[in-house]
Amino acid sequence: MDIKSVQEGVKSPFIENIEEYVVVFLDIDNIRYINDTFGHSIGDKFLSMFGNRLSQIVGEEGIVFKYNDGEFVILFHKNEKELIDKKIQFILNESNKVFKEEDYEILSTASIGVYTPNSNDKIDDIIKKAYIAMYQGKTEGKGNYKHFTNSIEEKIKRKTLLTKELTKSIERNYEGLYLIYQPIYNVVEKKIDEAEALMRWKNQELGEISPAEFIPIAEEMGLIRKLGYWLIKKVLRQIKEWNKEGLNLKIAINISPQQVAEKDFLKKIKETIHEEDIDFRQIKLEITETQILKLDEQRFKDLTELINLGVDIALDDFGEGYSSIKSLVFSPITEVKIDKIFIDYIHQDEKIQKLISSIIYTVHGLGYKVIAEGVEYKEQFDKLLEYGCDKIQGYYIERPIDEKKIVEFIKGFHNTHYAI
Ligand code: G
Ligand code: G
Ligand code: MN
C-alpha cells in the first residue's frame, strides 16, 4: 500500500475541512535504534510494514500519512472521544508487537499525541500541537498517548525558553549561576564539618529559577555535564579558599545520572581534584538510589576507587525511590541520606519512628553512616539523636547560605553550641 506523505496530503482534497478530523501524531519510539542496530534496509521494511498495518487498523475511519522517518500523521473522522481513544489504544497495543524480518526480531513501541483542530487552524500548527502532545507523553514514559492541552503547550514553551536562557548563561561564562551551601551538623563531633553545595540560577529577565525546575531541563537537554563540571571546579576552589581561612569542610556535591554514567567520570573527577590540590576526604558525592542501580559494573568500580581514595558516596533521597533494600546492599556507598518525607513525621508517627530507628540500626550494621535531611524542628532533631543518626541537615540547623555567611555561621555556632 502506498501511504502519502503529509506534504502531498496537504494538497489533496482530504484536508480541506480539517475541523471534521481529529489529528493524531504517531512516533515510533526506537526507530533510530532499529536503523542503527538492524541496518536501514531492515528499518525501511519495518516502517513499510508498520505503515501498512496502521492503514489497515485505521481503515475507513481515517487517513494515514507519512511524516518524517518513523513518524505518521493520522486524520480520524470526528467521532465520540471514547471511540477514538479506544482506537488509539488499539494502535498502541498493535505497535508493541514483535516484527520478524529475516532472522531479526524487532520489538517497538510508539508514542502518540492527539489534537482536535478548529476550523481556522493552519495545518502546520495542527501537526505541531499533536506533536507537542506526543512529545510531552514521551518524556513521561514511552508507549503512551496524550491529548493536547494549553498547559502542555505552556510547559513546552517554558522549557524551550529556559533551555535557551540556560545555554546563553553557560556561553557567557555561567552568568547568573551560583552556589549556596547548607551546613551539616556532625552529631558525634558536635560540630559543623560538612555542607551540601546547591546550585542556584538568577536570570536577568526571568529572575530566580528553582533548581527543581532547571536541573531536570538541563538533564533532558544535555546541559547538565557542563553545569556539573563547572560546579565541581567552583566547589573545589571554594574549599581551597575556606581551607586558607582554617575552615576544613567536607562538601557534598549532587551528581546527575548523565554525569556518573559518563565514560570518563572517574578520570575527570580525579584529575580535577588533583589539579586543585584538594584532599579527597573533603569531597562527598550524592547520588540518588534510583539512579545508582542503573549503573554498570565499570561505574561501580569507579565509585569504589573514589571511596578508596577517601571520597564519600551518599545514597541521596533514600526511601523515596523503589529499590531501597537492593541499593543498600549492592551499591558502593559510604553513607545513606534519609529522605525528608520520613523526617517530616518522625516526631509524630510511631510507625515512622520504628522504621527510621531500625533503618539507622541496619545501615550502621552495613558499615555506613546515616544522615537525615529536611530536619526543621527540635522534636525531629531529638528523635534522630535518640536513634543514633550521625549527621543532621535541615532548616533547624540552618538554610543553604552563601560562602561568606557560612563561615560566620559556623564560627557563631561553635561559639554558642558546645553541645546541643
Ligand atoms: O535546593 P533545592 O531544594 O531548591 O533543590 C531542589 C532540587 O535540585 C534538589 O533535589 C537538589 O538535589 C537539586 N539540586 C540542587 N543543586 C543541584 C546540583 O548542583 N546538581 C544536581 N544534580 N541537583 C541539584
Ligand atoms: O534532594 P536533595 O537532598 O539534594 O535536596 C536538598 C534540598 O532540600 C536543598 O535544596 C534544600 O533547599 C532543601 N532543604 C534542606 N533542608 C530543608 C528543610 O529543613 N526543609 C525544607 N523544606 N527543605 C530543605
Ligand atoms: Mn542532595
What is the DSSP annotation of 348-404?
T-HHHHHHHHHHHHHHHHTT-EEEE----SHHHHHHHHHTT-SEEESTTT---B-HH
Provide the 10 A C-beta neighbour count for residue 381: 23
Among the bound ligands, name the one nearest to the CA of residue 228.
1
Query: Is residue 316 within a helix (H) or strand (E), and if so which, with residue range?
Result: strand 312-318
Q: What average pLDDT does this structure show over 326-346?
A: 93
Non-local CB neighbours of 275 within 8 Å, separated by 6+ positions: none
Q: What atom in ligand 2 is closest to the CA of residue 337?
A: 3
Where would I find the beta strands (DSSP E) of 15-156? 21-28, 62-66, 71-77, 98-101, 104-107, 110-115, 145-147
Contact between 249 and 242 (Cβ < 8 Å):
yes
Provide the 10 A C-beta neighbour count for residue 119: 8
Q: What is the mean pLDDT of the chain?
A: 92
Where would I find the beta strands (DSSP E) of 92-244? 98-101, 104-107, 110-115, 145-147, 177-186, 191-203, 207-209
pLDDT score of 205 more than 50:
yes
Q: What average pLDDT does this structure show over 358-374?
A: 97
Alpha carbon of 241 to ligand 1 centroid (Å): 23
Q: What atom in ligand 2 is closest to the CA of residue 393?
A: 16
| Distance between start and end Cα atoms, the chain | 78
Among the bound ligands, name the one nearest to the CA of residue 314.
3
Report the alpha-carbon distance of residue 205 to residue 210 in Å, rounded. Answer: 14
Report the alpha-carbon distance of residue 229 to residue 247 in Å, rounded. Answer: 23
Alpha carbon of 195 to ligand 1 centroid (Å): 13
> Is ligand 1 within 6 A of the CB of residue 231?
yes
Alpha carbon of 299 to ligand 1 centroid (Å): 22
- pTM, two decimal places: 0.84
Which residue has its alpha carbon closest to ligand 1 atom 1? 198
pLDDT score of 224 more than 60:
yes
pLDDT score of 198 more than 70:
yes
Nearest to 370 by CA among 124, 214, 184, 221: 184
Q: What average pLDDT does this structure show over 359-363?
A: 96
pLDDT at 8: 65
Alpha carbon of 75 to ligand 3 centroid (Å): 47
> Is ligand 1 within 6 A of the CB of residue 401?
no
- Give pLDDT tens digits for 96-127: 888 887 788 888 899 999 999 988 888 889 99
pLDDT at 13: 47
Mutate to test the pocket of ligand 1, among 174, 181, 184, 199 (most ligand atoms within 8 A of CB): 199
Report the alpha-carbon distance of residue 79 to residue 190 in Å, rounded. Answer: 69
Alpha carbon of 176 to ligand 1 centroid (Å): 16
Alpha carbon of 196 to ligand 2 centroid (Å): 10
Alpha helices in 39-120 (DSSP H): 40-58, 81-95
> Is ligand 2 within 6 A of the CB of residue 316?
yes
Report the alpha-carbon distance of residue 311 to residue 236 in Å, rounded. Answer: 13
